Structure 1
Amino acid sequence: MKAVEIKIHNFRSICDASITLAEYGILVGVNNAGKTTVIDAIRAFYGKGVKFDKSRDFPHKGAEDNESWVEIEFKPSAEEIGTLKDEYRSENDTFRVRSYLSSDQKDKEGKERSGPYAYVNGELSEERFYGFKNVGQGKFGEIIYIPAVSKIDEHTKLTGPSALRDLVNTVLSRVMEESGAYQALSESFSEFEGAIKTESTAEGYSLQSIETDISEELSDWGAGFRLNISPVGVDDIIKGLVNHEIIDQSMDKAQPISAYGQGFQRSVIYTLIRVAARYGPKKKSPKKKEFSPELTWILFEEPEAFLHPTQVSSLNSDLRSLSESLGSQVLLSTHNPQFATHSIRNITAICRLQREDCRTRSYQVSSDELDRVLTVNQQDAQAWQAAGIPIDQDDLQTDMEAVKYALWLDQKRSSAFFAEKVLLVEGPTETALLTYMFDHGLLPDCKGVFVLDTIGKYNIHRFMRLFQSFGIRHYVLYDFDNGRHAPIDQTIQAASNEFTGGIDTFPEDLERFIGIAPAGRPHRKPQHVMLQVAQNGIDLNPLAAKINALVSQ
């Protein structure tokens, strides 16, 4: 089973949000945008670690009613859907459940609605899902939550719930069911019980004497007393007999895990969870009537924490592979653009959260919306060709539009998903110069602005349209070239949308605007401009004024 959509109503900064869920979902956005709120809403749905407190969790602004709920749509496997009650099944072989966190509505017993209510024939039922009062009934699978900051002990302790304890318990309990060694141990305990109760100390004290003395005191009540020594069970073995250690292979000795850095400790946490998923319960027989789907949903906050770039890349690949396995799913929140670097068709898995006037909004591009963006871009290319601009035949294919986005949304450009504002410029010359100006305090209004190289003005409109779908506020600055490329200028203007903060141009080009001659060859433009700035004391204040004014809109 997989979760395919979540709706959140009146939970913290979210008044209403609908998020499409992928096997490997990514939550992005600036700090305090609402990423943790989405993850906590899921935890509240499952009743795991988040208990709704209206004074804390109800929105302080923007709510239009007094209800708080989280609604999730699930898609069971073909095998699992056959055991789901017919009334809960949708036309798409999914089922949707709303878990009330707070409500003024009453149930059939006259009590405030709480817990899960399913949809029946497209309408929300008045009865709890499968009649249960809480979600701990195995109908939604399990979630594993890894916070941004957590202690290794929380995941490796054996005296209470932890990833390691669950893993050991899963395997050991199965082993002990058919273990000859455990059967022999149980029989030995029976013999041990009979012997140890009669053995006594030098003073004549024994367990049997305790039984006798207490029984004599209770005899007037017609009662007796007995001490039993039970065989060691799974819990006893795990709590009292199992321990773990980390072996430093270079020294061939055990080391406390506290001797290792946070990056290693976090890797251990993830490794335990990944291995635990591999050792999960065996699939149930399809003949079984009970609906008990398999889903291990990992909610991972900032998985990049304490990891080097190469480790982040490896973790990204591992998580993606895990999410593609049957009954597994991953949703992570991140500030690392490496996780947001997708093939264009997978970009629908990214949900960008944005805080607007104390309220969180969610932005995603759907498959249909992505197709529309690619199609409109193609229409622009055809219009350019009709206007006499040379266009390669490959560039007139919709698939080429997808290829271009996939190439351009590399790790660096994906930083746009995490920026408050994005300034779209033509190329590396502008990014280098603006970085220099920012470092020298010339762009005080550009805090939080990411400068994105669009690889030429021919591509500016493509980023504008994609950023519209993700709610990314952007600004445009490019060379007007004295109007020599009118069809392209018109396309950029036409691509302006509600998230376009402003469009400005250099009348001719950047070089002439700052008072230097153009480079002899186009590919030398970046180093040519930066050398002139470094050696000739170019006055950059007019350029700074232009940029500050643009991004302040």
Structure 2
Amino acid sequence: MIPKIEKLTIKNFGCIGSEGVSVDIDRIVVLVGANNAGKSTILRAFEVVTDCLKLEQDDFHNRQVKNDSFPEIELISVATTETKPGDEWCKSREDGTFTVKEKWTWEGINVEPKRVGYNYEIGRFAQEGDKETMPWGANNKAKSKRPKPHRVSTFDDPEVQARAIKSLLKSLLDEEIKSFKESEDDEKTSYQKIVSSLEKLRGDTKDRQADSVRELERDANDIISNIFPNHALSIFAPESTSAIKIELLGDEFDVRMGMVGGEAFPLDKQGSGSRRTALWTILKLLADKGIKAKNTTSKSARAQHENLGLNKAHVLLLDEPEVSLHPNAVENARDVLYSLPDGDNWQVMIATHSPSFIDLSKDHTTVIRVEKNEQSRIETTTLFRPDKAQLDDDDKENLKLTNLFDSHVSHAFFGGRIIVVEGDTEYAAFNYIKDREACKGNNEYHDLNIVRARGKVTVASMMKVLNHFKGIYFVLHDTDRPKCMSKRIDKQKSSGNNKVYTTFEMNNPAWTNNKKIQDQMGSDSRVFASIINFEEAYFSETVGSDKPENCINHIKTDLDAYGLIKCLLDAILGIDNVSPPEGVIQWNNVDQLDQAVSMYESSVTVIDSEQEPEIEGAD
């Protein structure tokens, strides 16, 4: 087991005020939200608390240092038997690990934070006068017991990490050189033999060295005595005892990128997207080797890296990893980042504006929206956690396939009103209404996210996710029919290429999925159903193919059709208390759908187009 960070609570830090925010932390945490909503502030808070850093003035809320509003951050971490502090600081967990709670307070700019632990034996945080106040003792020792944070900001220079990996390579090869032996029977390495011969050379030439020093001293005093009478210059040359070091490696290492089989160029010649990806890639490799880049701008420093000490667990803090990346590269970067925690020693926290960085099919993933409310206070909402949503394997597969077909599904996590529709027709129709109304100056739908589920079974899976958003969402799907006709081959009547099929009535699988939707209904869901399907409900027709194109053609060329679909959308969203049109039902029990479909079927007469209808009472 490796130590983990589990929860972060932040008050009076950066743009976060006294009301505070809490962030649940899993293996993967994705922070979403608008610009300047506080995502980067959360990453910064994580970094300063786990590394016990001093604060700058910009880190204080509203840049003001006040006695009644000092920055305060609480951290809940999970310790193992090997890393746990004293028993009074630990709360045992079922899996054999321990909960440890700490709190940091900064009482001024550029001063060390005050850290205290939660004493579970007395049920409070430690106070002045207590025998002990901090788990693990001093900060440096405590830091080695928690995961090490590695922050990559939007405009960090990847050359710093590149110099670190070059420094690491140089030190590794230097060790290889110094440990080389020509024969396993040799007592000394080849390097030690060379150093010994140089030490002997230094000793053998000692007398000649002394003669050279005395000669230099005489020549200097011939000049000095003419300028300063009765003065003399003395040169002391004590016997050298310093170790002899041989620099066998220069600056011949470089880090370059390029196409396989093509020309490779240094990192500083790459595009910004490639450079930033190389940055966190190298950072991860260095951390796994137990080192990190030195915080220095000097390119001439002998070593550009330093040891991390006992830290074996790490947290990668990434600010907008999608910046300057091609869409395909964004998806690849997402998959790589999601795979980092597979080794159990990494956690990843990402602040992003890209829906592509959300993958609902992954376990141990938390999606948190960070936003400002009407009073400009920062709020966080945990939108999704797989363990809370209780997604089964079918749900994960449904969501994974939906995301493959339509990357816009994840837009729902970024705020605004959400309506889940079953298929392409509703998706095309509502988006057309949204765009047309915007062109007219009607901004009623500007924050509307239309999520296309591409199937009724996926509607239920999406509802499982949305039930954790803590906000109202809307659903429109087809009722379908309880029964449907199907056909199968009659093997007895079929022969060779002559295939005979028989038709039969069966329970409609699409109808059974209505129950799955009902099971996910709650106080936050508003679920509507088009009776039978979208085309029959609003256009009184059955369409076999090209349904979205057929629908758009209707509402483009027929003002009544446009008004009907707009009325449908407004009724679902509850705009101006518009009444829903005929053909749609808001429901919460499958019996209501059964009754609506039965009434519809009883009101429909199907006429063969080749026969004249029989009119009662006609001659």
Equivalence map 1:63-78=2 (5 Å) = 66-77=69-80
Equivalence map 1:17-32=2 (5 Å) = 17-32=21-36
- What one-letter code is carried by the residue in structure 1 that aligns with 2:158? I
Distance 1:432-1:361 versus aligned 2 partners, 3 A rule: same
Which one is further off, 240-249 or 294-303? 240-249
The equivalent position to 2:371 in structure 1, one of 354, 358, 362, is 354
Q: Could you tell me whether the CA contact under 8 Å between 2:429 and 2:565 is conserved in 1?
A: no
Distance 1:367-1:418 versus aligned 2 partners, 3 A rule: closer
Q: Could you tell me whether the CA contact under 8 Å between 1:114 and 1:133 is conserved in 2?
A: no
1:38 CA drift (Å): 1.8
State the alpha-carbon separation in 2 of the partners of residues 328 and 112 from structure 1.
27
1:422 CA drift (Å): 1.8
What's the Cα RMSD here? Answer: 5.1
Q: Deviations over 1:1-39 (max 9, x none)?
A: 232412223133444333332223322334333321221
Within the alignment, does 1:421 sit opposite 2:440 as a pair? Answer: no
State the alpha-carbon separation in 2 of the partners of residues 255 and 494 from structure 1.
54
Q: 1:337 — aligned with what?
A: 355
Q: Indicate the SS of the match to 1:332.
A: strand
Q: Indicate the SS of the match to 2:254.
A: coil
Within the alignment, does 1:261 sit opposite 2:271 as a pair? Answer: yes
Q: 2:382 — aligned with what?
A: 363
1:432 CA drift (Å): 1.4
1:524 CA drift (Å): 4.2
Distance 1:66-1:325 versus aligned 2 partners, 3 A rule: same
Distance 1:51-1:323 versus aligned 2 partners, 3 A rule: same
Q: Deviations over 1:40-91 (max 9, x none)?
A: 111111347x643466532799x9963533333333456x34x754444431
- What one-letter code is carried by the residue in structure 1 that aligns with 2:554? Q
Q: 2:106 — aligned with what?
A: 102
State the alpha-carbon separation in 2 of the partners of residues 151 and 399 from structure 1.
41
- What one-letter code is carried by the residue in structure 2 that aligns with 1:12? G
Equivalenced residues, count: 491
Q: 2:552 — aligned with what?
A: 530
Q: 2:20 — aligned with what?
A: 16
Within the alignment, does 1:497 sit opposite 2:493 as a pair? Answer: no
1:299 CA drift (Å): 1.3
For the pair shown, the structure with the greater C-alpha radius of gyration is 2
Distance 1:405-1:337 versus aligned 2 partners, 3 A rule: same
Q: Deviations over 1:256-294 (max 9, x none)?
A: 43433223222322331233244337xxxxxxxxx9452
Q: Could you tell me whether the CA contact under 8 Å between 2:135 and 2:142 is conserved in 1?
A: no
Equivalence map 1:64-213=2 (5 Å) = 66-77=69-80, 80-81=82-83, 84-92=85-93, 93-102=97-106, 114-115=114-115, 117=117, 119-121=119-121, 123-126=124-127, 127-133=133-139, 137-157=143-163, 163-164=164-165, 167-168=168-169, 171=172, 175=176, 178=179, 180=189, 182-183=191-192, 186-187=195-196, 190=199, 209=216
Distance 1:405-1:117 versus aligned 2 partners, 3 A rule: same
State the alpha-carbon separation in 1 of the partners of residues 535 and 354 from structure 2.
34
- What one-letter code is carried by the residue in structure 2 that aligns with 1:354? E
Q: Deviations over 1:356-410 (max 9, x none)?
A: 2322223144566324xx7xxxxxxxxxxxxxxxxxxxxxxx7655654554455
Q: 2:541 — aligned with what?
A: 518
Distance 1:77-1:429 versus aligned 2 partners, 3 A rule: same
State the alpha-carbon separation in 1 of the partners of residues 432 and 73 from structure 2.
47
Q: 1:378 — aligned with what?
A: none
1:297 CA drift (Å): 2.0
1:296 CA drift (Å): 2.4
Q: Could you tell me whether the CA contact under 8 Å between 1:420 and 1:472 is conserved in 2?
A: no
State the alpha-carbon separation in 2 of the partners of residues 185 and 252 from structure 1.
41
The equivalent position to 1:280 in structure 2, one of 283, 290, 294, is 290
- Which runs of no fewer than 5 residues in structure 1 stay unpaired? 105-110, 158-162, 282-290, 375-397
Equivalence map 1:534-549=2 (5 Å) = 534=556, 540=562, 543-544=565-566, 547=569
Q: 1:296 — aligned with what?
A: 314
Q: Could you tell me whether the CA contact under 8 Å between 1:87 and 1:120 is conserved in 2?
A: yes
- What one-letter code is carried by the residue in structure 1 that aligns with 2:272? Q
Within the alignment, does 1:319 sit opposite 2:323 as a pair? Answer: no
Q: RCO higher in 1 or 2 (8 Å CA, sep ≥ 6)?
A: 1
When normalised by structure 2's length, the TM-score is: 0.63
Q: Could you tell me whether the CA contact under 8 Å between 1:417 and 1:472 is conserved in 2?
A: no
Q: 1:288 — aligned with what?
A: none
Q: Could you tell me whether the CA contact under 8 Å between 2:150 and 2:317 is conserved in 1?
A: yes
Distance 1:60-1:493 versus aligned 2 partners, 3 A rule: farther
State the alpha-carbon separation in 1 of the partners of residues 465 and 261 from structure 2.
53
1:146 CA drift (Å): 1.3
- What one-letter code is carried by the residue in structure 2 that aligns with 1:171? L
Q: Indicate the SS of the match to 1:130.
A: coil
Equivalence map 1:384-403=2 (5 Å) = 400=394, 403=397
Q: Indicate the SS of the match to 2:321.
A: coil
Q: 2:488 — aligned with what?
A: none
When normalised by structure 1's length, the TM-score is: 0.69
Distance 1:224-1:311 versus aligned 2 partners, 3 A rule: same
Q: Deviations over 1:117-163 (max 9, x none)?
A: 36454643341333315678523242221112323323223xxxxx4
1:452 CA drift (Å): 0.8
State the alpha-carbon separation in 1 of the partners of residues 146 and 214 from structure 2.
49
- Which runs of no fewer than 5 residues in structure 2 stay unpaired? 128-132, 181-188, 292-308, 481-510, 577-619
Q: 2:3 — aligned with what?
A: 2
Q: 1:44 — aligned with what?
A: 48
